[in-house]
């Protein structure tokens, strides 16, 4: 079932998502993940997997959602991780991806600034500020309370 998925924003409006692949109703996603549909509903309520929603509230799962469901099943059944631990793993993975993206952007900006410095493109004037070696003695002002 191919369509253009949408996600609901805070105002109840629907925004287009960049994902241009297949989306699946809950029964198909459950079958692809090897789980019962009720398990997917539970995972949605717990925040482990957040599927897209139709205007009527129906869940629509992407390929990435199905892969995440499979990973949850692997961690739970074969690695013995409880659902709270799985949620922490998912959240840390998302945080890690966000940090990597931030690092990529800052690194690109840094390279751009280095290129500007190398090319001599003026972004501002460099001014030499001499360092003082003078010693200044501090004295308490008269009339101030301790």
CA atoms 89, 94, 100, 103: torsion sign = negative
pLDDT value of residue 6: 42
List the end-to-end C-alpha distance of the chain, in Å, as a whole number. 79
pLDDT value of residue 60: 96
pLDDT in tens, 93-127: 999 999 999 999 999 999 999 888 888 766 666 77
In the predicted model, residues of the chain with pLDDT beneath 70 are 1-20, 121-125, 144-146
Estimate to the nearest angstrom the gap between the alpha carbon of 64 and the chain centroid: 15
Q: Could you give all domains of the chain from N- to C-terminal order, each with its CATH number?
A: 6-119 (1.10.1660.10)
């Amino acid at each position: 079932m191919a369509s253009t998925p949408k996600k609901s924003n805070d105002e109840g409006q629907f925004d287009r998502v960049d994902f241009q692949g297949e989306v699946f109703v809950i029964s198909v996603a459950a079958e692809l993940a090897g789980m019962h549909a009720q398990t997917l509903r539970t995972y949605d309520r717990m925040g482990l997997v957040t599927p897209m929603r139709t205007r009527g509230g129906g869940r629509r799962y992407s390929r990435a959602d199905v892969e995440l469901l499979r990973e949850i099943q692997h961690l739970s059944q074969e690695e013995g991780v409880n659902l709270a631990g799985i949620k922490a793993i998912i959240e840390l993975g998302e945080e890690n991806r966000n940090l990597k993206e931030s690092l990529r952007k800052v690194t690109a900006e840094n390279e751009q600034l280095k290129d500007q410095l190398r090319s001599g493109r003026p972004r501002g004037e460099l001014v030499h500020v001499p360092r003082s070696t003078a010693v200044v003695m501090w004295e308490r002002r008269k009339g101030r309370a301790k």
